[in-house]
Amino acid sequence: MSNSVLFFEPIFKEKIWGGNKLRDFGYDIPSDKTGECWAVAAHPNGQSIVKNGQFKGQTLGELWENHREIFGGIQGEKFPLLVKIIDAHEDLSVQVHPRDDYARENENGELGKTECWYILDCDKEAKLVYGINAKNKEELDEMIDQGRWADLLQSTPIKKGDFFYVPSGTVHALKAGTLVLEIQQNSDTTYRLYDYDRRDQQGNLRELHIEKSKDVIEVPFKNRQYELEVQNIEGMTKTRLIQSEYFTVEKYEINGYSDVENNTPFTLCSIIQGEGKIKIGEEEYHVTKGDHFMITSEVKKYNLQGNFAMVISHV
């Protein structure tokens, strides 16, 4: 039995700000407050389970521990990436994530969290919080202590198909009416800076992490929006969204038939629209919107057929 392509069962997380848009991917979600689909995860707070092949029923974390050969034998204590779909029915808290060294020291050996967002869909007038206006640490602390959020936070309008790179230290927040594919370091550490004085179901204000946030916020803010590289090849439009020290992310829009060389330790794939096939030698896999899978290092070349779009990521 081949280990070329491993499909994963999604994991769902209910959130105070979640909605029901994940149903559009064909998922059976737990409620109308479902905020996150952890699509490819090997974290203590969520482990993807393989749906096919000889590893069926095993978690991604177990494969990382016991079958490093399918990941090209790369080093590392933890599987490096985490892929999610986030349904922000309401505003998320304004937050920031730590770097590796700070997280290791202050969050029980967690990785830091650099992430990126591909906007799958959003309301017409949608915006998100991305960056701050404070010029230095002193001004930052003052604005936070005085609750001058309108002065501090930078807001930017968004549309479907936009892409944002969000390195650790960047203040950010998804706002209501936004559906995103998020690719990030394998970490679940978030510092809440501001939460609109929202209360949870029990009527309590949600916990904030002001001092830790102040420690890790990058000031002044550096806007790291890049020009996207678009390449038209036979049967496919390929867009390089980001190449960073933590991950490379690309979007493949297949229209017909295209061959892809594979020279990465593993490739994580999320089908975001349409359907089609992946062919590897004699093997053929049908893929459709909402599928998430990993192409292992054993695959040197594959063929994509159909009419679909997928976002791929690798280290």
Catalytic residue among 192, 198, 199, 240: 192
Cα dihedral across residues 282, 259, 285, 12: positive or negative:
positive
Residue closest to 189 by CA, chosen among 89, 127, 111: 111
Query: What is the DSSP pairing of strand 236-243 with strand 229-233?
Result: antiparallel
Cα distances from 236 to residues 226, 231, 255, 278, 309, in angstroms, run 22, 8, 6, 13, 9
Q: How far does Cα 3 stand from its chain's mean position?
A: 24
Q: Are 268 and 314 in contact (CB under 8 A)?
A: yes
Q: How many residues does the chain have?
A: 315
Q: Which residue carries 């700000």 as its tokens? A: 17
Q: Are 144 and 133 in contact (CB under 8 A)?
A: no
Is 172 among the annotated ligand-binding positions? yes
Cα dihedral across residues 288, 286, 253, 73: positive or negative:
positive
Is 43 among the annotated ligand-binding positions? no
Interatomic CA distance for residues 275 and 55, integer angstroms: 25
Instruction: At 102, list the tokens.
Output: 């700070």
Is 115 among the annotated ligand-binding positions? yes
Residues 6+ apart with CB under 8 A from 145: none
Interatomic CA distance for residues 238 and 221, integer angstroms: 30
Interatomic CA distance for residues 113 and 167, integer angstroms: 7
Interatomic CA distance for residues 220 and 94, integer angstroms: 17
206 is catalytic: no
Instruction: At 310, list the tokens.
Output: 């997928």
Residue closest to 187 by CA, chosen among 243, 65, 104, 289: 104
| Residues labelled catalytic | 192
Which residues are annotated binding-site positions for Zn(2+)? 97, 115, 172
